[in-house]
Each structure stands twice: as structure tokens, then as C-alpha cells.
Amino acid sequence: MTMSNTTTSQTASVSSAAASHRVTLSAILSQSRFRLIPMIAVLIIIWLVLQLLTGGLFLSPRNLTNLSGQVAITAVLAAGAVMLMVPGYIDLSLGATVAASAVVAAFASTVYGLDFWPTVFVTLTFGLLLGLWHGFWVAWMHVPSFIVTLASLLAIRGLSLVITNAETISPSMDILVISDASLPPVASALVLFAMWLGFSLLQLREWRAQVSAGIPASFGILVLLPVIAVGIVVLGAIITTSTYRGLPLPVAIVLAVVAITGGILRYTPFGRRLYAIGGNRQAAMLAGIDIRKHITIVFAGMGLLYGLAGLMLVARLSSAPPTAGQGLELNVIAAAVIGGTSLMGGRGTVAGAAIGALLMESLANGMSLMNLPSSYQSIAVGLVLLFAVYIDVRGRGSRGDD
Amino acid sequence: MTTPVRAPAAKVIGVDKRFGGAHALRGVSMTFEAGDVHAIAGENGAGKSTLMKVLSGVIGEYDGFLEIDGAPVRFASIRDAERHGVFLVPQELNIVPELRVGEYLYLNREPRRFGLVDVKKLWADTAHWISVFKLNTSPVARMGELSTHEQQLISIARAMTQGVKVLILDEPTASLTERETELLFDRIAELNQHGVTTLYISHRLHEFQRIANVVTVMRDGSVVDHFRVAETGGDTPRRVIKAMVGRDLSEMYPKSSASVGEPLLELIKWSAAHSIPGRPPAVRGVDLTVKAGEVVGLFGLLGSGAFTVARSVFGAHDAQVDGTMRIKGKPVRVRTPRDAIGHGVAYLPAERKRDGLIVGHSIEANMALAALTKFSRGGFINRRSELQSIRRYTTNLRVKCTSAEQPIRELSGGNQQKVVAAKWLLTEPEIFVLEEPTRGVDVNARVEFYELINSLSQSGKAILLVSTDLPEVLGMADRVLVMWEGQIVHEWKRGEATEEQVMLYAAGEHGESEVAA
């Protein structure tokens, strides 16, 4: 009796597993790890359209380098924003805290005459302290992150204005290296190739782990397809950078930040726990997760990125206007959300946010190439945000009920 | 007795529904006669919930037909169904805790006067319904302050105020005490006399005999048995179980005894404050020992403090806890779940979706959560060992799923509970605190859970089984402890206690009544 029951239930589970192999394309696309594909498709379409409308100006190496400088700050911050939003928090302070970091960098290098590395150190430390300040109020004093960072948005902006007397100060010339320098073409090619190799090896490792656990993993979907796709992008990047000035330093910084934050989220227990905290805080706590510790670390990490973004900003503008970066926080959140990060927590990827940032800045850049006023850029980005989230909600809503 | 000619209140004709690859309903036809209490039984995933969702307008896309009072209908929404007199009272009630009873009862249909809410009439009408349902509450009390039982009756009253013809109760007794269940049954019987047809879904088969006129059993999306209770001669549960699983009732509790060793968990003068300030303490001076290989059953009605004992042992009680806790003879301090896990304690919470699972995440993400450090080397997760362990447990516990990447929300209750169990087994604990381990779990999976408990105790683990399911406690525990008002009031060895005795103690009526008996 029991025996026969066992066998039937086993055959049942086997046959249902077999049935799952015949999955439709839409089912595949709605899986989290393929959510990037439609976004990349949209990005390519937008690029081609802009290329046509600007008469070939958009995809010229010169403009791509320029675009990369614009994207870099948003992308770096968006990577941090994903780390915060995955466990269910938000940062509204970016515009003010990044501008304040830029002011600190300018002050340190000109008023106090610090050299390059001490300036970098001071700026990053300043950002870190701001991040810890946020972490303290959120994790230990239990004030919602929305409020804590909104308070900073107001207070830190005011503080920058007080410190600088509302004047724009300029950094010393050696700071400008951060936005102006490029890796030489050969080094650029090597860096890009190494990243592609690392990505390929990680995908291969994942596939082997799945196979060793008896999961019928498809080599094509898990390894071949993503490796080839990323390979094409990397090849394009190598060709572009070698025909112009090499890989701009801001792009190298973005790649490093995305690789580190993305790696933390995907491959470490720490990152997994962030998803759990955002998915169900109570269950995460009951699984033994020290939520306070995790949140403090994440805010501290975000603080370091304030400093990094501040350095990139001051180098890009060659000055530190205390009013710089107005509305930056909303662009960053929009980039993360377009990239599939949930405002409710529990869902999101750094790669998605980076592509989201690229998508938004491409629109802005392309439209300014066409000499459209920035108000039109706003309209376009707003609509893209709305439709991106709508498509995402629809894609998930159609998959069965609760 | 002459049976009156019954008119069907509702009919389901050849309803067919698929969710992706799963065939949830395979052309189901059923007739619900007016004035019946119609029980619908079946394992989780048998299709009964899906059928009820079709009938109550939650699911609008299906093949087949519905008839209400002989007229064909098709519901596109819950409001649509409600307009035709079909109301669903779900297992997890959709109440608004901040609203007052009267406001909730007439939500969206408030009596009006000069365009404003006629408050006087609102409270008066509410008071009427409160008295009809014999509730001891006020029309201006907040819904959140009411017990689950009262909230449920208010939800039923809400259907009554809108002219309910078919009332669907989904697992209404799952979170009720025995006494509240009795009260609910009295109300259902009264509804019947008013010609309301009640569809009653429950896993508690012994209730069918008491409450239902007709029973329909479903399996794998089809009807497998249908009979009037009067025909069975008092053997309803047995017949239902036979139809559901083809398994005999005596196999329900396959208890095997293990050799009992040293005490693993000891509580001495264990007390816990109530999580709501100002209430009397939830646990008062409890002494409790669970030895290696032993299953200790802790039974208590809701509010007895049994659940608080479970949570406080795991460091998850949100108020002051006093007393000594020893693990393997050594005094330990457990202030957070993290401490408890470090001392080898695992906790299977009663509120699975709230406390145990991340429903939007995958099976693998949920299973690995508590044991991530075990799977990582040099700060990175070793996917190979992680996936292999997960695979082992999905196979051993027979989790029915398409892949380990499937989201938890797509699994049935029994399979969800297996995932929670696997999450803790992966941490290799010594002490298991199981809180309502089989709530909302179908019969087959229940037996599998009991077998799991057996194998754990045989491998020398200590198990504290905290449950409001009395047959389960009596069937599975080596010792049965009863809690009442925060204290352990009696203890029995296995086989010594009867259901009636335990209930008497749990209800606090063990004093004179026991002597009299």
C-alpha cells in the first residue's frame, strides 16, 4: 500500500518535472535571470533610433565617451541604491550628499592643499561617515530610511551652502584626472576581456553546480547565450575604446563598482540575506539574520559611494557648486526601478540598474544632440519609467495566483 | 421522513481550469442544493480552492458554466458574484483592523442621510447583527481588537446584510478553539434554516459529521466521491479519507518510539510577559524538559501561552522573558533567534507565510536561508554544495515542484511546509520546536510529516510539538503537557490521556468537574 503510493507520487513528480521543460518563451522571459533581455532589446532599439535621428552622431566613439561620463555617476549610485532597495530601504539624500562630497573634495585639494590620494581618502571618509549617520538612525533608532535620507537631503544641502558661502569652488587640477584620464587601448582591451572571462567562468561554474546537483540545466541558456551576448558587447566596447582614447576612467570605476556590488548580491551569503530581509523581514529575522548589522553595512557602503560619486562629479564639472546634483536621487531611483528593482524590496539586480542608468542617460544625451530642450528629456524619461514598470508588473502579474 | 423536493441553489457544470502546466480542475460538475451545508474535502491541490475561487468570482477565466437559482451566470469579479448572492469568507480574513465593526459591516454601503453617513442607523443596524450572531462586542469596537472568531462572524454577518444565498467558508475553523468552533457551527445551522446554502471547506474531517448534510470529495481536480451524510451511518471521516487518498485512518499517526536519552532542552521557572503591555503574563513559571529522542506534546487553546513558550525558547518573543534555559545541561542565554540557532534550536512557526517563508522567492532561496554560512567558503556561496543539499531535501521530503527555482507561492500548503522543514534540517539542529506543524497541510503530507518526526526522534533529536490539534498531540507525543492560563496544568504519558480529559484541563475545568467525573 505505502509502497505503491510512494511510486505513484514519485512518477507524478517526475512527469511534472518533464512537463516543465516545455516552457514558453514568455515564461522564460518572465524569469528573473532573463528579465534583462527585453531591457537590452529596448536599449538597442533606442540607440539605433537615436543614431538615425542624430545622423550618425550618437554612436560615434567621441559621443560614446561623452555619454559614458554622464552615465558613470548615475550608474555608480544606482548600484548602491540597489543594495539599499533590495532589503527594502531607500535613499533620497543623494543629490545633497554627493554634492557635499564634491565640496569636501574641492576644499581638501585647494583650501587645505592636499595631494591626490589624501583628497580621495578624505572624501571617501566623509561619505562613509554620512552613510554611517544614516545607518545609525535607520538601524538603531528605527526611523524610516525615507525620512532619515529626506532629512539629509534638506540638511546636508543647507550645510554645503553654509560651508561654501553659496560660492562655487574649484578643485586642484590633479583631481580632474578622475574624469579625464583613460586607460590605454591595450590595457582597456585587457580589462574588458578579463571581465568577460570572469563572467564566463562564473556562468560555467553555476552550470556545473546545477548539473552536479542533478538539475537538468541547459548549457545553451545558462552559459552559451549569455557568454556570447556579453562577448559581443565587450567586443564592441574594445573596438570603440581602441579607436578613440581607450577606456575612460569613470567607465572603469563603474565596471568595478558594478562587479563588486553585483558579486556581493549574487555570490555571498551577505547579499542573499539582503534579499531575504526585503522579501520578508519577519521570516528573515526568524532565520537568524542580524538585520541591524546588515543594514548598517549597506548604508556605510552607500556612504562610500557618496564619496566616490562626489569625486567623479567634482572632476567632471571641474568645480564643486554646492547646488550640483539637484534631482540626482530621483534619477538614480528611476534607473534602479527601470532595471527591475522593486521599491518594496526583495527583488533587483545591479546589472539591471546599470542598464537602466544607461537607458535614461542615452535618451537625455541623444535628445540634447538633437538640440531638444532638457524639459523634453524629462518627459521622455518619465514615460520610460512608467512603461518599464508597467511591463514588469504585467509580466509578473500573469503568472498564476497567490 | 419525506425529503422535500430540493431546488439547486447553485450548479457547476463542466468547469475546467488550468494554471500553466497544472490542470487544476478537470471538467468538474457539482450541484449545491438550497439549504444544505455542503462540505468539500480534498487534499491541498485537489482543486477545491480553485473551484471556490471560480464560484466566488476571484477567478474569471475558465471553461464551463455556472448556474445560480437555475439561471446561467458568469462572474468577472468578486463584486459580480456578491451581487448574485455568492460570498466567500476566506481563511485569512480581509478585515481592516482600523475600522470600527459597524463601518466594516457596511463598508461601501453605509446608510446615508442628506448625503452623509447616517451614523445613528449605522450603529443601530450593527447592534442588531451583533445580537443576531450572539457576539459580545460593541458596534464601535475596532475590527483589529476582535478575536479571529468574532472577525469571522462579522464577515459572515456582512454577507448576511447583502442577501447571501451561497456562503463559502474556506477553512473557517483552522484558527478557532473547540469552543469557538461549536459557536460557529451553531450559527451555520441557523443560517441553514434561513435557506442559505453553505459550502464548507475543511481539513478537519471529524467536523463533517457534526455540521454537513452533504459531502463531496475531490482529488486531482475531479470529484471522486459524493454522498449525503445521513447515508454513511456515522462513518463520514473514514469514507472521506478513503476517497481522498485511498489510505486507512489507522495510518494517520504512525508513531514509533525511540530510546530516550539525556535532557537536551530544559526550562526552569520559565515566564514571559504578554506582548501587549498591561495584559497578564503569557507564561508563568513553566518547568519543562525535552530529552533526546523524545517528542513532548504541548497542548493549549489559543491564549494559553503554549505558542509563547515556543517562541520564547527560540528567542523570538517580543516581550520580557525570565527563567533559566538549559541546553544539554548547560545554562544558556537566548535573546534572539540567532542565539537559538547557534545553540542548535530550530523553530517551525505556526504562521508559515508570515514567519517562515519568503513567498515571492524561490524554493532554493528559502531553503538555504538559515544555513548560508554552511554553504560558503571564503565569503562566497559554494553553489555546488548548496544545490546538492537542496536537491537532497526536495527529493527526500518529496517536495512536489517543477524546479527548485519555482516561487514558493506556487506550492501547496503541504509543500510549503516541507520547504520550511528543509530550511531547518539544513542547519542540523538538535532541538526542534514545531508549532502547528501540519496546519493547512493535506492528509498525505501530514503522514509524511509524522514520519519525519519519527525519524528525527529516532536519531536522538528532541522535539517540542506545540499544537492545537488534539488528535495530533495525542497521536504523536511521548508525553502530553496541557497549558492553561500560562501554566502547565497536567501531564500524561503516552496513551494515558483521552481527548476529553485533555480538553477539560485545557479549558480550565479540571477542578471540581474532574472529581465529579
CATH assignment of the domain containing B47: 3.40.50.300
Say if residue A12's pLDDT is above 60.
no
SS (H, E, C) B237-285: HHHHHHHHHCCCHHHCCCCCCCCCCCEEEEEEEEEECCCCCCCCCCEEE
CA–CA dist B497, A328 (Å, integer): 69
Say if residue B247's pLDDT is above 60.
no
CA–CA dist B347, B340 (Å, integer): 9
Residue A400: predicted pLDDT? 35
pLDDT band of B162, cuts 50, 70, 90: confident
Residue A213: predicted pLDDT? 87
pLDDT band of B339, cuts 50, 70, 90: very high
Q: For A128-145, how does the pLDDT look when each residue is reduced to its tens digit (9 = 90+)?
A: 999 999 999 999 999 999
Residue from the list B338, B358, B409 with its beta carbon closest to the beta carbon of A288: B338
Kindly provide the b/e burial profile for residues B322-336, where b requires at least 16 CB atoms within 10 angstroms of the residue's own CB: eeebebbeeeeebeb
**One domain for residues B379 and B487:** no
pLDDT band of B173, cuts 50, 70, 90: confident
B384/A289 Cβ within 8 A: no
Residue A32: predicted pLDDT? 54
C-alpha distance across the termini of chain A, in Å: 34
**One domain for residues B240 and B172:** yes
Please name the residues in contact with B250: beta carbons below 8 A apart, sequence gap of 6 or more. none
Say if residue A27's pLDDT is above 60.
no
Q: Is B373 helix (H, G, I), strand (E, B) or coil?
A: helix
In the predicted model, what is the mean pLDDT of residues B75-86?
Answer: 89
Residue A16: predicted pLDDT? 41
A19/B21 Cβ within 8 A: yes
Say if residue A225's pLDDT is above 50.
yes
> Which of B318, B362, B381, B393 is the best mutation test for A, with the most CBs of A within 10 A?
B381
- Closest residue by Cα to residue A126 from A148, A105, A153: A105
Residue B175: predicted pLDDT? 65
Residue A15: predicted pLDDT? 39
Chain A closest CA to B376's CA: distance in Å?
7
Residue A311: predicted pLDDT? 95
Q: Is A121 helix (H, G, I), strand (E, B) or coil?
A: helix
B380/A31 Cβ within 8 A: no
B295-299 and B479-484 as β-strands: parallel, antiparallel, unpaired? parallel
Domain extent, residue B322, equals: 252-344+430-511
Domain end among B413, B428, B443: B428
* Structural domain contains residue B439: yes
CA B383, B385, B388, B391 dihedral sign is: negative
A400/B59 Cβ within 8 A: no
> Which residue is it, cell 535532557?
B263
Q: Range with the lowest mean pLDDT among A67-71, A270-274, B399-403, B500-504?
A: B500-504
Chain A closest CA to B401's CA: distance in Å?
7
Say if residue A17's pLDDT is above 50.
no
Chain B closest CA to A311's CA: distance in Å?
30
CA–CA dist A246, A228 (Å, integer): 23
Residue from the list B341, B355, B387 with its beta carbon closest to the beta carbon of A210: B387
**One domain for residues B179 and B55:** yes
- Closest residue by Cα to residue B67 from B211, B246, B216, B197: B197
Provide the percentage of residues in chain A whose pLDDT is more than 90: 56
B59/A5 Cβ within 8 A: no
* Structural domain contains residue B304: yes
Mean pLDDT, chain B, integer:
86
Domain count across chain B: 3
B388/A212 Cβ within 8 A: yes
Residue A180: predicted pLDDT? 85
pLDDT band of B216, cuts 50, 70, 90: very high
C-alpha distance across the termini of chain B, in Å: 38
- Closest residue by Cα to residue B426 from A287, A224, A5, A63: A287
Q: For B279-330, how does the pLDDT look when each residue is reduced to its tens digit (9 = 90+)?
A: 788 999 999 999 999 999 999 876 789 999 999 999 999 899 999 999 999 9
Q: For A345-397, how does the pLDDT look when each residue is reduced to its tens digit (9 = 90+)?
A: 999 999 999 999 999 999 989 998 998 888 888 888 888 888 888 877 776 64
DSSP at A169: B
In the predicted model, what is the mean pLDDT of residues B82-87?
Answer: 90
Residue B515: predicted pLDDT? 37
| B59 contacts on A by Cβ (under 8 Å) | 401
Residue of chain B whose alpha carbon sits nearest to that of A10? B398
Structure-block grid coordinates of residue B301: 487553546
Residue of chain B whose alpha carbon sits nearest to that of A396? B360
pLDDT band of B60, cuts 50, 70, 90: confident
Residue A234: predicted pLDDT? 92
| B379 contacts on A by Cβ (under 8 Å) | 268-269
**One domain for residues B283 and B140:** no
Q: Is B29:B13 a contact under the CB 8 Å cutoff?
A: yes
Residue from the list A20, A269, A347 with its beta carbon closest to the beta carbon of B403: A20
Q: Is B416:B352 a contact under the CB 8 Å cutoff?
A: yes
Residue A26: predicted pLDDT? 53
A212/B349 Cβ within 8 A: no
- Closest residue by Cα to residue A245 from A304, A180, A298: A180
| A275 contacts on B by Cβ (under 8 Å) | 358, 361, 365
Provide the percentage of residues in chain B whose pLDDT is more than 70: 93
**One domain for residues B28 and B96:** yes
CA–CA dist B220, B206 (Å, integer): 22
* Structural domain contains residue B78: yes
User: Which whole-number Å values give the CA distances from B329 to A232, B321, B474, in the listed order?
Assistant: 63, 20, 28
A269/B376 Cβ within 8 A: yes
Residue A337: predicted pLDDT? 92
pLDDT band of B509, cuts 50, 70, 90: low
Please name the residues in contact with B105: beta carbons below 8 A apart, sequence gap of 6 or more. B125, B126, B129, B154, B157, B158, B161
Chain B closest CA to A39's CA: distance in Å?
22
* Structural domain contains residue B517: no
Chain A closest CA to B443's CA: distance in Å?
13
| B401 contacts on A by Cβ (under 8 Å) | 13
**One domain for residues B302 and B334:** yes
> Which of A26, A28, A286 is the best mutation test for B, with the most CBs of B within 10 A?
A286
In the predicted model, what is the mean pLDDT of residues A46-63?
Answer: 90
* Structural domain contains residue B2: no
Chain A closest CA to B116's CA: distance in Å?
36
Structure-block grid coordinates of residue A337: 526601478
Residue from the list A16, A213, A401 with its beta carbon closest to the beta carbon of B388: A213
**One domain for residues B367 and B318:** no
Residue A23: predicted pLDDT? 47
Say if residue A6's pLDDT is above 50.
no
User: Which whole-number Å values give the CA distances from A387 to A50, A86, A332, in the listed order?
Assistant: 19, 21, 17
In the predicted model, what is the mean pLDDT of residues B374-400?
Answer: 91
Q: Is B408:B366 a contact under the CB 8 Å cutoff?
A: yes
State which H helix or E strand residue A278 sits in: helix A269-279
Say if residue A237's pLDDT is above 70.
yes
CA–CA dist A268, A275 (Å, integer): 11
| B404 contacts on A by Cβ (under 8 Å) | 215
| A289 contacts on B by Cβ (under 8 Å) | 338, 369
Residue from the list A20, A206, A286 with its beta carbon closest to the beta carbon of B316: A286
Residue from the list A1, A273, A400 with its beta carbon closest to the beta carbon of B410: A400
B340/A288 Cβ within 8 A: yes
User: Which whole-number Å values give the CA distances from B316 to A142, A307, B265, B304, in the listed order?
Assistant: 18, 38, 17, 17
Residue of chain B whose alpha carbon sits nearest to that of A268? B380
Residue B86: predicted pLDDT? 92
pLDDT band of B44, cuts 50, 70, 90: low
B63-68 and B8-19 as β-strands: parallel, antiparallel, unpaired? antiparallel
B381/A269 Cβ within 8 A: yes
CA–CA dist A352, A339 (Å, integer): 4
Q: Range with the lowest mean pLDDT among B12-21, B308-317, B413-422?
A: B12-21
pLDDT band of A33, cuts 50, 70, 90: low
A288/B359 Cβ within 8 A: no
Chain A closest CA to B320's CA: distance in Å?
18
| A208 contacts on B by Cβ (under 8 Å) | 384
Domains of chain A, with CATH numbers?
Answer: 28-181+248-394 (1.10.3470)
Residue from the list A22, A268, A273 with its beta carbon closest to the beta carbon of B379: A268
Which is more confidently placed, A33 or B225?
B225
* Structural domain contains residue B349: no
Say if residue B1's pLDDT is above 70.
no
| B245 contacts on A by Cβ (under 8 Å) | 5
Say if residue B268's pLDDT is above 90.
yes
CA–CA dist B511, A130 (Å, integer): 64
**One domain for residues B156 and B295:** no
**One domain for residues B193 and B114:** yes
> Which of B383, B405, B411, B423 is the best mutation test for A, with the most CBs of A within 10 A?
B383
Chain A closest CA to B28's CA: distance in Å?
20
Q: Range with the lowest mean pLDDT among A201-205, A212-216, A289-293, B18-22?
A: B18-22
Residue A399: predicted pLDDT? 39
Rounded to 5 degrees, φ, ψ at B278 are 95, -15
Q: For A101-121, how does the pLDDT look when each residue is reduced to its tens digit (9 = 90+)?
A: 999 999 999 989 899 999 999
Domain end among B375, B400, B428: B428
* Structural domain contains residue B3: no
User: Which whole-number Å values give the CA distances from A341 to A83, A265, B410, in the listed order?
Assistant: 10, 13, 22
**One domain for residues B414 and B440:** no
Residue A21: predicted pLDDT? 42
**One domain for residues B407 and B438:** no
Residue B400: predicted pLDDT? 85
Provide the percentage of residues in chain B whose pLDDT is more than 90: 39
* Structural domain contains residue B112: yes
CA B400 to chain centre: 20
**One domain for residues B245 and B272:** no
E strands, B341-471, in order: 345-348, 376-377, 380-381, 431-435, 462-467
Number of A/B CB contacts below 8 angstroms equals 136
Domain end among B428, B459, B483: B428
Ordered alpha helix ranges (H), B430-492: 443-458, 470-476
**B248 CB burial (10 A radius; 0-12, 13-18, 19+):** exposed
CA–CA dist A34, A340 (Å, integer): 11
- Closest residue by Cα to residue B435 from B327, B308, B332, B320: B308
β-partners of residue B272 are B283, B321
Residue of chain A whose alpha carbon sits nearest to that of B50? A401
Chain A closest CA to B423's CA: distance in Å?
9
Residue B267: predicted pLDDT? 96
**Residue A310 carries which side chain, given as an amino acid letter?**
G
